[in-house]
């Protein structure tokens, strides 16, 4: 009887751990394919803050954000 309970608890722990790692891998690949912010959104934010965005400045900010995301 206690062996059945032990097997059930171990299966539950293994399922939770496996589910966590699968979900983590899925979210990492999703965020890599669909970054939360893109150049168009960055340009709009800069315009709303009163800045005149140049392509050079947008590229610098995007590369800085990508470096931060890779860490």
* Span 26-66, pLDDT tens digits: 999 998 888 788 888 889 988 999 988 899 999 998 899 88
DSSP string for 8-26: HHHHHHHHHHHHHHHHHHH
Each residue of 29-60: b (16+ CB within 10 Å) or e? eeeeeeeeeeeeebbeebeeeeeebeeeeeee
Q: What confidence tens digit (pLDDT) does each residue in 49-60 have?
A: 998 889 999 999
pTM equals 0.54
Q: Where are the domains of the chain?
A: 1-34, 37-71
Nearest CA among 21, 23, 30, 36 for reference residue 66: 36
């Amino acid at each position: 009887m206690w062996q059945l309970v032990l097997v059930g608890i171990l299966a539950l722990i293994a399922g939770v751990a496996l589910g966590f790692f699968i979900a983590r891998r899925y979210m990492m690949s999703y965020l890599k394919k669909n970054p939360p912010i893109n150049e168009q959104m960055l340009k709009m934010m800069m315009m709303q803050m009163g800045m005149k965005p140049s392509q050079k400045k947008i590229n610098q900010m995007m590369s800085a954000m990508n470096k931060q995301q890779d860490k």
